[in-house]
């Protein structure tokens, strides 16, 4: 910054113009150019910027100098609102509503520490707070450093989600006996490791019978603002991928198709899996009930629905599949696959030094 900030008239609206690294940056929402009070406030902001610059504490993001609207930090709240409404995911919506409820500006490190203390006083765990901070960093631009905190919490071990071969066989046998309508769904899930939304959104035209594979090209995502609503979306990475199917899965899916035809609910481009009673799309709460009932009948400890994906990928790695090939089928990078899904399965193969 070579010289102090200047005031600018933008079609009657008052702005403060700051020259940073040869580029103009502006502070808006200051009022009208013909309002003496607004001009005085703008001059005070300009003086504060120049003073901070001289003292070496200048906030290059300019967020510390943005005016408050009704005592609130409008910029961050607006960014969070847009993120929540765009993603429509529960975590993004929760982050927006928490910040909205807090209702105070966060411009300095002390402000951020006070916000962190408030989150803990609200009873939120450090694990939940860390998730919130991710959203706040991504929406705060140059002020993202305010939401960087070293929080200590017990990370959840995803190893507990991996079922052994014997446990998978027991659960599938139980489902085939007691939950016949949903048995094909869980067999496909445990045999492909698809994501929850991809299973929900799978349509019959994506099953390639002759090639023995399934095309994963879309998902049916839950609306965070209304959990009963779902909307079509691309895959998480935005890319299509192909996952091979075993002969067992293909035969089971063919029988499931025939059963749907008998009930009059089969459509060539319709959903593969629908609810047993309503014949509408399946959802996590419904599938979770089926999954928990089966685990309980088998005498197994409770596990998340995501155990399907963890179990498939961990076992597929354990039997010697190429991490690169498996990552492509899973819709992950190889590094993410190894960091997240390379979990013990009880299939360790020990080298033998015995000569023939």
Same domain, 50 and 186: no
Is residue 185 within 8 Å of 282, Cβ to Cβ?
yes
Whether residues 177 and 295 fall in one domain: yes
CATH number at residue 220: 1.10.443.10
Sheet of 13-20: strands edge to edge? Answer: 6-10, 13-20, 23-27
Asked, for residue 355, whether it belongs to a domain, the answer is no
Gap between the Cα atoms of 268 and 282, Å rounded: 18
List, for residues 290-339, the tens digit of each pLDDT value.
999 999 999 999 999 989 999 999 898 888 888 899 999 999 888 888 88
Domain count, the chain: 3
In the three-class reduction of DSSP (H, G, I as helix; E, B as strand; rest coil), residue 293 is classed as: helix
Spatial distance between the Cα atoms of 190 and 163, rounded to a whole number of angstroms = 10
Structural contact between residues 224 and 93, judged by C-beta atoms closer than 8 angstroms: yes
Query: Where is the domain boundary, 15, 37, 65?
Result: 65
Long-range pairs for 320-329: beta carbons < 8 A, 24 or more residues apart: 328/241, 329/192, 329/193, 329/241, 329/242, 329/243, 329/244
352 in a structural domain: no
Give yes or no for residue 341 having a pLDDT over 80.
Answer: no
Arithmetic mean of pLDDT, 199-217 = 96
Q: Are 107 and 73 in contact (CB under 8 A)?
A: yes
Same domain, 204 and 289: yes
Which domain does 226 fall in, by range?
A: 158-341
Residue 293 φ/ψ region, left for φ over 0, alpha for ψ in the -120 to 50 degree band, beta for the rest: alpha
Q: Do residues 281 and 274 touch, judged by C-beta distance below 8 A? A: yes
pLDDT at residue 347 tops 80: no
By CB atoms closer than 10 A (0-12, 13-18, 19+), residue 108 is: middle
Residues 27 and 80 in one domain: no
**Average pLDDT score over residue span 154-179:** 84
Distance CA 121, CA 166 (A): 45
- Last residue of some domain: 118, 147, 176? 147
- CA–CA gap between residue 28 and residue 10 (Å, rounded): 10
Same domain, 181 and 240: yes
What pTM was estimated for this model as a whole? 0.69
Residue that finishes a domain, picked among 65, 87, 108: 65
Distance CA 299, CA 180 (A): 19
Q: Convert 181-216 to b/e letters by CB count within 10 Å (16 or more is b).
A: bbbbbbbbbbbbbbbbbbbbbbbbebbeeeeebbbb
**pLDDT of 258 higher than 80:** yes
pLDDT higher than 80, residue 261: yes
Closest by CA position to 95, among listed 127, 147, 40, 135: 135
Rounded to an integer, the average pLDDT of 242-268 is 96
Is residue 113 one of the residues assigned to a domain? yes
Same domain, yes or no: 162 and 36? no
Whether pLDDT at 287 is above 90: yes
Range in 32-41, 307-316, 330-339, 345-354 with the lowest mean pLDDT = 345-354
225 and 319 in a single domain? The answer is: yes
Hunting for tokens 């033998």 — which residue is that? 352
Say if 28 falls within a structural domain.
yes
């Amino acid at each position: 910054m070579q010289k102090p900030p200047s005031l600018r008239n933008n079609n009657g609206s008052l702005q403060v113009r700051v020259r940073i690294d040869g580029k103009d940056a502006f502070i808006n929402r200051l009022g009208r150019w013909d309002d003496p009070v607004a001009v005085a406030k703008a001059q005070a902001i300009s003086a504060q910027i120049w003073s901070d610059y001289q003292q070496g504490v200048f906030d290059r993001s300019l967020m510390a100098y943005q005016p408050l609207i009704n005592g609130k930090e409008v910029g961050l709240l607006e960014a969070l609102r847009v993120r929540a409404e765009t993603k429509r995911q529960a975590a993004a919506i929760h982050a927006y509503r928490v910040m909205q409820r807090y209702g105070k500006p966060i411009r300095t490190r002390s402000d951020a520490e006070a916000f962190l203390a408030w989150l803990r006083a609200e009873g939120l765990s450090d694990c939940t707070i860390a998730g919130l901070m991710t959203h706040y960093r991504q929406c705060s631009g140059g002020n993202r450093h305010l939401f960087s905190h070293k929080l200590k919490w017990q990370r959840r071990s995803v190893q507990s989600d991996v079922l052994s071969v014997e446990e998978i066989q027991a659960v599938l046998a139980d489902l085939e006996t007691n939950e016949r309508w949903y048995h094909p769904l869980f067999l496909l899930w445990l045999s492909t490791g698809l994501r929850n939304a991809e299973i929900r959104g799978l349509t019959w035209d994506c099953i390639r019978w002759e090639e023995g594979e399934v095309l994963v090209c879309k998902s049916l995502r839950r609306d965070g603002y209304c959990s009963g609503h779902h909307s079509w979306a691309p895959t998480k990475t935005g890319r299509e991928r192909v996952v091979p199917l075993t002969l067992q899965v293909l035969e089971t899916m063919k029988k499931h198709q025939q059963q749907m035809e008998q009930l009059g609910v089969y459509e060539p481009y319709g959903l593969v899996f629908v609810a047993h009673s309503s014949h509408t799309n399946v959802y996590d709460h419904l599938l979770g009930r089926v999954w928990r009932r089966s685990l309980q009948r088998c005498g197994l400890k409770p596990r998340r629905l995501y155990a399907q994906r963890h179990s498939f990928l961990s076992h597929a790695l354990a039997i010697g599949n190429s991490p690169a090939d498996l990552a492509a089928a899973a819709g992950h990078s190889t590094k993410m696959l190894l960091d997240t899904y390379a979990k013990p399965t009880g299939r360790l193969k020990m080298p033998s030094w015995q000569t023939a």
